[in-house]
Amino acid sequence: MTGELVQQYQQHIQDAYVAETPLCIQGGGSKAFYGRKIKGEILDVSANAGVISYEPTELVITVRAGTTISEINEVLAKEKQMLAFEPPCFATNATAGGMVACGLSGPRRPYVGAVRDFVLGLKCLNGKAEILNFGGQVMKNVAGYDVSRLMTGAMGTLGVLLEVSLKVLPEPEYELTLKGESDLATAIQLMNKWAGQSVPVSATSFHDGNIYIRLSGHKSAVLAAASQFPLSEYPDGENYWQSLREHKDNYFADDFSSDSRNLWRLSVPSTTEEINLQGQWLIEWGGAQRWLITSEPLEQIRNVAGKAGGHATLFRGGDRDGEIFQPLSTGIEHLHVALKNAFDPKRILNRGRLYKKF
């Protein structure tokens, strides 16, 4: 059945290659809002679903790209394992393919790594309709260029993902969330200080004048660490982090479709001091991921993020026909265009989803 599906996709790409028809790759559609708006024939790859193999002792799961994240989470939870990078779903039908293509990670990211750190290998179709396998199912593999990680976050512009192998980790035995009042500058200081100490921090955030920290690990170690913090236990921790990850928190309540306020994601060095842009801030990832709801002009936001040594993404709202991601330097852009041509010479796969130019 799935073999046939893959053949179908292959044929579709083959035809598109000949006719030079742009294709719009679609999984669950949960992240359709993300990236630039593009036109093209829909290539729906959500039906290619299912767990192919999962061996808890190997810490590896291999799934077809259409498998939903929630199914993966369920399968792993039975063995007390997890996708440690806590991928956001944004909708129940979010798929593994979309997760890898968008490259988004959740609250645990600064402490264990991002999606790309857990991608071990993948199977894909390139823009010439060739089926290719890269990486594998083992922890260490340096044979050939690391195409699996290159495709992670490439927004489907380099290939259609068919299967992915992901490293998984054991669930922590115990978790505890602490909360306390703080101002933004102090919160950034504290988050960086904690990250430099040997305490089992697994998530941090700041908003509405409160700092939150999650500790994960062995129960005794978590409790011992918790007693060192001048914060109090926050009983609803699990829901809190989930709602942050899924953008269900009140902070994200607006759909940013009408007024001039947009949701920005600024990725900056964690120690970056308070950023001089007006709006509502929500800080995560030990200071390295900063959400901003603002109507400040795009150029200014990009400028400030760039100067801080990071980049800004117009996450929700605004002009989806414009540039959503931080413009690239000339040299880097040149390499991007050359890589796009190397994988997808006719530029049929998600053309323009990442950058207008390719």
Region of 4-12, 94-102, 191-199, 227-235 interacting with another protein (CB under 8 A): 191-199
Q: Does 173 bind another protein (CB under 8 A)?
A: yes
- Beta-bridge mates of residue 263: 293, 316
**CB-wise, 6 or 114, nearer to another protein?**
114
End-to-end CA distance of the chain: 33
Q: Does 35 bind another protein (CB under 8 A)?
A: no
* Smallest separation (angstroms) from another protein to the CB of 154: 6
Backbone angles phi, psi at 236, to 5 degrees: -95, 30
Letters for 36-75 (x = contact with another protein by CB under 8 A, - = none) are: -------------------xxxxxx---------------
**CB-wise, 46 or 277, nearer to another protein?**
277
**CB-wise, 133 or 186, nearer to another protein?**
133
Confirm if 264 and 313 have CB atoms less than 8 A apart: yes
* Smallest separation (angstroms) from another protein to the CB of 164: 15
Q: Does 204 bind another protein (CB under 8 A)?
A: no
> What does the angle CA 266 – CA 66 – CA 171 come to, to the nearest 5 degrees?
65
Contacts of another protein in 150-169 (CB under 8 A): 150, 152-154, 158, 169
Region of 9-17, 21-29, 110-118, 252-260 interacting with another protein (CB under 8 A): 110-118
**Judged by CB under 8 A, which of 11, 220, 260, 278 binds another protein?**
220
3-state secondary structure of 178: strand
* Smallest separation (angstroms) from another protein to the CB of 59: 6
**CB-wise, 59 or 75, nearer to another protein?**
59
- Beta-bridge mates of residue 181: 210
> What does the angle CA 254 – CA 30 – CA 265 come to, to the nearest 5 degrees?
50
Backbone angles phi, psi at 150, to 5 degrees: -60, -35
Which element (helix H / strand E) includes 314? strand 311-316
Binders of another protein: how many residues, by CB under 8 A? 83
Nearest-angstrom CA–CA distance, 342 and 38: 21
Q: Does 335 bind another protein (CB under 8 A)?
A: yes
Q: Does 274 bind another protein (CB under 8 A)?
A: no
Contacts of another protein in 240-259 (CB under 8 A): none
**CB-wise, 75 or 221, nearer to another protein?**
221
Q: Are strands 41-44 and 23-26 parallel, antiparallel or unpaired?
A: parallel
Q: Does 29 bind another protein (CB under 8 A)?
A: no
Exposure class string for 133-168: b at 16+ Cβ within 10 A, else e = ebbbbeeeeeeeebbbbbbbbbbbbbbbbbbbbbbb
Contacts of another protein in 114-153 (CB under 8 A): 114, 116-117, 126, 130-134, 136-147, 149-150, 152-153
Exposure class string for 313-343: b at 16+ Cβ within 10 A, else e = bbbbbbeeeebbbbebeeeeeeebeeebeeb
